[in-house]
Structure 1
Amino acid sequence: MDFSQLHYYVPAEKVDNAAIVEKNLIIYGGTPAGITAAIQATRMGLTVAIVEFSQHIGGMTASGLGATDLGAEEAVGGLSREFYQEIAKYYQKEKQWTFEPKAARYVFEKWMKDYDIPVYFNQHLAEVIKENGKIIEIGMEDGQRYQGQFFMDCSYEGDLLAKSGVSYFVGRESNATHQEIYNGIQFGAPHHKFEKWIDPYVMQGQPESGLLPGITEDDPGELGYQGQGDHRIQAYNFRVCLTKNPENRVPFPQPPRYDAERYQLLLRYIQAGVWDAMNLHTMLPNGKSDLNNYGAFSTDNIGMNYDWPEGSYERREEIFQDHLTYDLGMLYFLANDSRVPVAIREEVAAWGLPKDEFETTGHWPHQLYIREGRRMISDYVMTDRNCLQQTFVDDSIGLASFHMDSHNCRRVVIDGRCVNEGDVQVPIGPYEISYRSIRPKTEECTNLLVPVCLSSSHIAYGSIRMEPIFMILGQSAATAAALAYKHKTTVQEVDYGQLRQELLQANQVVEWGADKVDDPIKRMTETFGKE
């Protein structure tokens, strides 16, 4: 298997005499939000360029997340719904919400060609130049430079907003910060917990022997209390596309830096009678599946991502490679290690990586699932009160409806047993997202929009952070940019009445009418399957 191209960061060679790219709107990040933003801006007459850090567009949607975290179907409008209509056309179906990674890539690449949108790859942000509170130019490590009247940060990390001097937060706020219920440290979740008492020590019953790999803390005095804020973020993983088709299946290879002892905790869990690490297979077309985290020990590399949001590109590369080794290593371990029960080895070995996906990266997804990075702090912060429909906004630019969803943030020891901490799963109905949450404070930047790392608390972001919502917000942000450009105003001065009218004309859904019906508890139950 060739993993030579499977990197987060490879320093780019300096470009001599690089031409300056000038457009009305410069979009940093070829994620689904960046793509819908570029299309909407083009439709409204702006010139646009996408500046992408990696060698691929489409973010997680084109990198294994084929089981769409959708929420209420009727809450999805505009270009986001158009994407799924294009997916249905690809499969020659009337409706299709799940898809193979290559299908998403096909749609996104077709869109870029149809709208003649230039994409500049391997662009690593180095500096931001501002004048009078406005970004006028951004520069890359290779020397390329981009100038525009408006800019948009569509990265999963929020790198452009940070370098632009915009306020942000990383981690979990305390419940007291925004008067919330489900933020901060969270013990006692009913999902993704250890269902059996599992000893955490290398030599069982002997704390002096040290902790097993994957357990991060063993100090009762440092565990914190329910609802307390901290620096931690929810776990990352790869959404792995798998197949059982013998003609298309590549057996799981041993990854670089493989260490079987990293899965000793998983082995103990299996030996205790619990085998659920691969339960969350969602089937995709053509016999493929989207494998996501399930239970106490699965594909989430819990507690190993804290440095990512503000880390250097080199540090992020280290974390990326560690997650690759962890996830692929787990699959290899389960399929091959003689200590794993034969029935489980045979079950896992029946799966493999599809030959017709991710051909340039060893058939492994190229995008790490950055579930949470920086979050902007603007004039309006989305909180769990919005999600729970206790607080409402008067400047809606789209709806979210997926349940409040935080994966675990750490694995600790309490009273001599393993405990996961940070999981939250709370069903909610559709709610409105404020325009003020995607634009900075006036005093910080007047021509930047942030539809991905928007102004939100940790737990509200756990609901908003779904790819269909990012597509919705990207389109809405571009609409605001086009209006600001047309009327020669700042993004803060955009008239919401005009913005709303343009969004409705673009088939965005900005409110949940009384005529619509939704069952959030049923939706969340279907998401968790057997749980």
Structure 2
Amino acid sequence: MRYILSLFVLFVCSGCNSEESSQPETLEADVVVYGDAAVGVSAAVQAARMGKSVILVSQYGHLGGMTSSGLGWTDIGNSRILGGISREFYHRVYLHYQNDEAWVHQSKDDFPKKGQGAPTFNDATELGSVFEPKVAEMIFDQLVEEAGVTVVEGRLDLDNGTTMEGQRITELHLQDGRKVAGQMFIDASYEGDLLAAADVTFTVGRESNATYDETVNGITLPVNKNNITKPVDPYVVEGDPESGLLPDVNPFDEADVGKGDHRMQAYCYRVCLTSAEDNMVPIAKPENYDEATYELLFRAVDAGYRGQWGAFYKFSPIPNKKTDSNNNGGISMNKIGNNYSHLPPEHPDYWDWTTLSHEEREKVAAIQRDWQLGLIWTLQNHPRMPEGVRKQYSGWGLPKDEFVDNDHWPYNIYVREGRRMISDFVMTENQILQKEDFPQVEDSVGMGAYTMDSHHVQRVVYKGNVRNEGDVQKHFNGKPYPISYKSIVPAEGECENLLVPWCVSSSHIAFGSIRMEPVGMVLGQSAGTAAVLAIDGNVSVQNVDYGKLKAQLIEDGQELY
């Protein structure tokens, strides 16, 4: 990368012969952050600003995670939750776009004034809620460089990820053999890979409603938003059940509604498209394009389906004639069911995204990428698409000036949910809704405010047709809710020097609100602060003095209640 390793590199060499000197190097810092997403950057920058040496392990070689991989139409919910580094990021976005030179392909005056529940550029708060991917990455690069964070490219060894002494991590192991030693570790990965390597208790999938006395967790009736609203036959040969179900379509039993399962909400790439002809790479037909993959789409279109609100995916505008194109409707950017096996969990060949190797994840991500590129190409070009549909989607391509070393495609797939830690305090819908009859958060390290939001989890046969199941968009009064410190540290008796600001201890549906990128930045900063206080106090993360933590967070601008 563009950062120089210098102060914290130790070569494991007890002698001077060539065999010993060829051993993998060990890197060392006070605080080690695994994960280069916005949450990891915030954690690393905060710890460095508090005077500690910090290594940030970057799996992708580009900082920012989803925030710099296409998610530029920000899901905030309520800007009051922003403080400290999160507010600083969106303030720097605002300042960048005050410069006329930032507007290359359109005028600022022509850009929409309203974003996702907030002004695009708010002159009163001086916050910008929309931005280009390359601008987000630039700001994250600036933050880590200014703070003196050392960035190391590498991926965790998923088979042997840590060296442990009792309940403490002493080193994490990278795939290439290098080791990274530290006093405190922060798992900022979307998957929760480091917490699993440290043998911290976690779950994957959806709990039942009964588990935490919730109402919108677990399996749902397949009647919610982003659905297929026209009758579509579910069988390979229409009308013939003996021919089998279409790929990724499951049977469905209404008796299962409210029960838990192993399935995960769908992933996608937040595709950055542009209509600026001088900055456009046309969408090419994927080399492995298979028309049969889109049979569900063709059948739905033949039945009169035209997406949700008249579109098959979103064209949420970001500056310079670009989009943040997210899933929209029943057949869209999400390849539902692509991130887990359709075998039962007890089957020896069962897998989900969290159980895969890095290389296997890349293969699954490539299938998702080709689905989305193929979808756009199909809508733009395929003769089975009505002329009006082809015309509607023509004139858009990939931007030449984004993701220039990755064929103009985002670096990160949107891992909307991976592992979720199970700690001594589990955030549930009851804490999100701040119900008085349930345990209250008394040790806030940040706030969330977004809708409890799950994308669909599976396609099913419902009343003889294909429907999508799992979408939940549980709105509440928008009042920000506090997030417990106990939900970002392992349970008492488990790992003593690990903080988990992303894969927090929460139910599936509560995570659907917490998982927003601005909240991740908030919790990342709080985790970085707690890591430093644990070092200075020579205590476990479970025993950090909350009074001192709260005082430091407030001093650094965090919003807690």
Deviation readout 1:64-123 (Å, 9 max, x if unpaired)? 000101110111111111100011111116432100101101101111221221111133
Verify the 8 A CA contact 2:83 2:522 in the aligned structure 1.
yes
Amino acid at match of 1:425: Q
Give the C-alpha shift of residue 384 in structure 1: 0.6
**What is the distance in 1 between the residues matched to 2:185 and 2:498?**
5
Give the C-alpha shift of residue 224 in structure 1: 5.2
Range 86-95 or range 405-414, more displaced: 86-95
**Pair 1:117 & 2:149 matched:** yes
Deviation readout 1:333-373 (Å, 9 max, x if unpaired)? 11111111112112212111111101111111111000000
Which residue number corresponds to residue 431 of structure 1?
A: 481
Amino acid at match of 1:310: T
Verify the 8 A CA contact 1:278 1:291 in the aligned structure 2.
no
Which residue number corresponds to residue 161 of structure 1?
A: 195
Range 293-302 or range 252-261, more displaced: 252-261
Verify the 8 A CA contact 2:222 2:462 in the aligned structure 1.
no
**What is the distance in 1 between the residues matched to 2:517 and 2:255?**
32
Range 476-485 or range 259-268, more displaced: 259-268
**What is the distance in 2 between the residues matched to 1:225 and 1:211?**
20
Deviation readout 1:498-524 (Å, 9 max, x if unpaired)? 11111111111000xxxxxxxxxxxxx
**What is the distance in 2 between the residues matched to 1:36 and 1:447?**
18
**Pair 1:72 & 2:106 matched:** no
* 1:61-460 superposed matches below 5 A: 61-92=67-98, 94-125=126-157, 126-213=160-247, 215-218=248-251, 220=252, 225-276=256-307, 277-306=311-340, 307-390=352-435, 391=438, 392-428=440-476, 429=478, 430-460=480-510
Which residue number corresponds to residue 548 of structure 2?
A: 498
2:534 aligns with one of 484, 487, 504:
484
Deviation readout 1:421-455 (Å, 9 max, x if unpaired)? 00000112311100000000121110000000110
**What is the distance in 2 between the residues matched to 1:438 and 1:105?**
26
Give the C-alpha shift of residue 412 in structure 1: 0.7
SS at match of 2:249: coil
SS at match of 2:30: strand
CA RMSD of aligned residues (A): 1.4
**What is the distance in 1 between the residues matched to 2:303 and 2:418?**
35
**Pair 1:41 & 2:47 matched:** yes
Give the C-alpha shift of residue 266 in structure 1: 1.1
Give the C-alpha shift of residue 312 in structure 1: 2.0
Amino acid at match of 1:452: W
SS at match of 1:129: strand
**What is the distance in 2 between the residues matched to 1:373 and 1:247?**
39
Q: TM-score, normalised by structure 2?
A: 0.86
**What is the distance in 2 between the residues matched to 1:279 and 1:42?**
40
**What is the distance in 1 between the residues matched to 2:150 and 2:491?**
30
Amino acid at match of 1:123: R
**What is the distance in 2 between the residues matched to 1:201 and 1:167?**
40
Verify the 8 A CA contact 2:217 2:258 in the aligned structure 1.
yes
Deviation readout 1:256-296 (Å, 9 max, x if unpaired)? 42212211111221222221243422100111110011111
Which residue number corresponds to residue 528 of structure 1?
A: none
Range 191-200 or range 97-106, more displaced: 191-200
Give the C-alpha shift of residue 189 in structure 1: 4.3
Verify the 8 A CA contact 2:87 2:127 in the aligned structure 1.
no
SS at match of 2:51: coil
**What is the distance in 1 between the residues matched to 2:381 and 2:245?**
24
**What is the distance in 2 between the residues matched to 1:364 and 1:315?**
19
Aligned length: 494
The percentage of counterpart residues that share the same residue type is 47
Amino acid at match of 1:47: S
**What is the distance in 1 between the residues matched to 2:277 and 2:145?**
34
Give the C-alpha shift of residue 42 in structure 1: 0.9
Amino acid at match of 1:382: M
**What is the distance in 2 between the residues matched to 1:444 and 1:224?**
37
Range 275-284 or range 103-112, more displaced: 275-284
**What is the distance in 1 between the residues matched to 2:266 and 2:454?**
9
Give the C-alpha shift of residue 315 in structure 1: 2.2
**What is the distance in 2 between the residues matched to 1:181 and 1:284?**
36
**What is the distance in 1 between the residues matched to 2:77 and 2:255?**
32
**What is the distance in 2 between the residues matched to 1:349 and 1:403?**
33
Amino acid at match of 1:370: V
Verify the 8 A CA contact 2:154 2:175 in the aligned structure 1.
no
SS at match of 2:31: strand
Give the C-alpha shift of residue 202 in structure 1: 2.6
Verify the 8 A CA contact 2:156 2:172 in the aligned structure 1.
no
**What is the distance in 2 between the residues matched to 1:402 and 1:459?**
12
Verify the 8 A CA contact 1:16 1:143 in the aligned structure 2.
no
Change (3 A) 1:102 1:224: farther
Deviation readout 1:360-409 (Å, 9 max, x if unpaired)? 11111111000000000100000010111114210000000000000000
Give the C-alpha shift of residue 197 in structure 1: 1.5
**What is the distance in 1 between the residues matched to 2:40 and 2:536?**
20
SS at match of 1:369: coil
Verify the 8 A CA contact 2:234 2:249 in the aligned structure 1.
no
Verify the 8 A CA contact 2:156 2:193 in the aligned structure 1.
no
SS at match of 2:277: coil
Which residue number corresponds to residue 529 of structure 1?
A: none
Verify the 8 A CA contact 1:135 1:447 in the aligned structure 2.
yes
Range 181-190 or range 335-344, more displaced: 181-190
Amino acid at match of 1:24: D
**Pair 1:58 & 2:58 matched:** no
Q: TM-score, normalised by structure 1?
A: 0.91
SS at match of 2:278: coil
Deviation readout 1:455-485 (Å, 9 max, x if unpaired)? 0100000000010000000000111111111
